[in-house]
Amino acid sequence: MNVFLWIVAGVLAAFFLAAGANKLLQSKAKLAENPAMKWTDDFSAGTLKLIGAAEVLGAIGLILPALLDIAPVLVPLAATGLAVIMIGAIITHVRRKEYQPLAINTVVLVLSALVAIFRFGPNSF
Q: What are the pLDDT digits (tens) for 68-94?
A: 999 999 999 999 999 999 999 999 999
In whole angstroms, what is the distance from residue 53 CA to residue 91 CA? 20
CB 40, CB 32: distance < 8 Å? yes
Pick the residue with more confidence: 123 or 68? 68
CB 90, CB 63: distance < 8 Å? no
Asked whether residue 125 is assigned to any structural domain, the reply reads: no
Q: Which domain holds residue 43?
A: 2-120
Asked whether residue 60 is assigned to any structural domain, the reply reads: yes
CB 61, CB 114: distance < 8 Å? no
How does residue 111 score in pLDDT terms, banded at 50, 70 and 90? very high
Asked whether residue 30 is assigned to any structural domain, the reply reads: yes
Collect contacts of 45-51 with beta carbons under 8 A, ≥24 apart: 48/23, 49/23, 49/24, 51/20, 51/23, 51/85
What's the pLDDT at 123? 80
Asked whether residue 32 is assigned to any structural domain, the reply reads: yes
Count of domains forming the chain: 1
pLDDT tens column, 31-69: 999 988 999 999 999 999 999 999 999 999 999 999 999
